Amino acid sequence: VAKYNFQGSTEQDLPFCKGDLLTIIGVTKDPNWYKAKNSVGREGMIPANYVQKREGVKSGGKLSLMPWFHGKITREQAERLLYPPETGLFLVRESTNYPGDYTLCVSCDGKVEHYRIIYHDGKLSIDEEEYFDNLMQLVEHYTKDADGLCTRLIKPKLMEGTVAAQDEFSRSGWAMNRKDLKLIQTIGKGEFGDVMVGDYRGTKVAVKCIKHDATAQAFLAEASVMTQLRHTNLVQLLGVIVEERGSLFIVTEYMAKVSAVSLNFAVKMCLCPCGSYVCEAMEYLEANNFVHRDLAARNVLVSDDNIAKVSDFGLTKEASSTQDTAKLPVKWTSPEALREKKFSTKSDVWSYGVLLWEIYSFGRVPYPRIPLKEVVPRVEKGYKMEAPDGCPAAVYDLMKQCWTLDPAGRPSFRLLREKLQHIRLIAEETSPSRILIPVSIFK
């Protein structure tokens, strides 16, 4: 990512602006210069000290939009944290005297002042004249103007073990400038925010917009995971925007939505790209010790050039972490993950078998005609879905292998990919007829 503007002085140079994304494609005899290409494929020479290598954000749960929020601490604890006195040093805590309210604690002229933050009708206020939607907006306001406080808020006292999200994304090269992002059209609405098509410096992008501070905090983990992943068949993170007023924008490459494809393409999607593409992506996650936990056809997107990519890393975590099973999709989740919260690449393999079934059934909901509450008991007794109409026996056999009750008995993604490639070679020799089918599963 470019740290400065570079105009270039020769035809061999590649001009760029601060914030542009560049790919280093070669080193030179001179360590001060790289050969690089920009987002539209133009190549040229760039000065090494004008760019910053992007790093994965590994702070995970320590990232915070509100690192100055210390939760349930007492008045005395707050005063100890703000010692020695430094005018403008501040923190926010939960109110001990008024449950549900907050307290702003500010060091000023050698002592600590405590201001009650009243929560009323969904708004926050200190003086009942100025109201704010969330704590971030309130703190932002008083960092610019004391507005009745003993002093302007100058320096946050960070909670031990937390890292300011904006600082970490900036340090690692993933912070984008909100001024450069133009939001164009809403393409999806969810419980937590909107997904929009946008333009970032002339590049079409997809933007997940989370506009409530508490919800945005929960999505920081997804953004930090995506900074650590780079693969052709994973939807690529382009950058993150953290706004002082509590909004979070996760900017990714834009993936087109297709409405219909031929059966020939569907077979290739399963056996070559979707099978092999998704297998390659999942194999990459496995090698990097990540478990997706929400692998399903709804989370496989297709680009303009018909490349399938795995998306939605909201539940993706390091393999060693645990998770609340209440949020998991029952029909796609392995029995051991639902029953014992045991997640692994093998639980992703189970989900992958369901994904293959979805594709070959042209987007039907898994376990048709079986009530949701009966799915798990029947599966634990050995039930497996029947093969979709027209599904090759070899592919259905792979699905059943994915649904082996003992996780140790399921194939690896590498083995699955190798078997799919072998089946594909046979399928290409038989050249299936072309029939148009809906692919709503990719929407």
Residues forming the annotated binding site? 208
- Angle, CA 109 vertex, CA 103 and CA 115 arms, to 5°: 15
Give buried/exposed letters for 68-105 (b at 16+ CB in 10 A, else e): bbbeebeeeebeebbeeeeebbbbbbbbeeeeeebbbb
Residue list, annotated binding site for ATP: 208
Burial environment of residue 54 by CB neighbours within 10 A (0 to 12, 13 to 18, 19 or more): middle
How far is Cα 29 from Cα 4, in angstroms, rounded to an integer? Answer: 23
Number of CB atoms found within 10 A of residue 187's CB: 14
- Non-local (6+) Cβ contacts of 410 within 8 A are 346, 349, 350, 401, 402, 404
Number of CB atoms found within 10 A of residue 429's CB: 7
* Cα–Cα distances in angstroms (integers) from residue 278 to residues 47, 72, 308, 351, 359, in the given order: 37, 44, 7, 12, 13
For residue 45, the Cα-to-chain-centroid distance in whole angstroms is 32
- Non-local (6+) Cβ contacts of 354 within 8 A are 296, 331, 332, 366, 402
Residue closest to 342 by CA, chosen among 321, 316, 313, 312: 321
* Cα–Cα distances in angstroms (integers) from residue 420 to residues 234, 268, 423, in the given order: 19, 10, 5
Residue closest to 229 by CA, chosen among 309, 337, 320, 332: 309
Q: Which amino acid is at 344?
A: S
How far is Cα 130 from Cα 429, in angstroms, rounded to an integer? Answer: 72
- The reply to whether 294 belongs to the active site is yes
> Residue 383 has which token pair?
């039930």
Q: 109, 294, 324, 406: which is the annotated catalytic residue?
A: 294
Q: At what angle do helices 345-360 and 393-402 cross, to 10 degrees?
A: 150
Residues annotated as catalytic (active site), given as ranges: 294
